[in-house]
Structure 1
């Protein structure tokens, strides 16, 4: 495996995890934060999670093409 793949794939997964946490806080599933039950984070979270998945999938497909 190439180092660029590992870094890009890990970055995509990390962005996805952050997006999921933000979404769960925005939807009120994870309480105890100023972000809980906030519409802003209910929108930003899923968008961020999708961007993270796209980064990870793009990295994976680029490695598979070689």
Structure 2
């Protein structure tokens, strides 16, 4: 995987994870995930995966 691809996936994962987290916590209404703790937990995990992918992408770009 190239550095740019990891950076893009990481950013996308962070955005979706943050959205799922706030929906799961009940701050955004009108979704199946609203007020669902499982959605908040999965969203937080996805944010962490996104951070890791961004970190790996930055490292891959720095080696070039």
Relative to the length of structure 1, the TM-score reads 0.86
Structure 2 SS opposite 1:11: helix
Bigger relative contact order, structure 1 or 2 (CA pairs below 8 A, ≥6 apart): 2
Q: How well do the aligned residues superpose, as a CA RMSD in angstroms? A: 1.5
Distance 1:8 1:54 in 2: 9
Length-normalised TM-score, structure 2: 0.89
Q: Structure 1 residue aligned with 2:32, among 31, 34, 37? A: 34
* Number of residue pairs the alignment of both structures matches: 64
Gaps of 5+ in 1: none
The structure 1 segments of at least 4 consecutive aligned residues displaced by more than 6 Å after TM superposition are: none
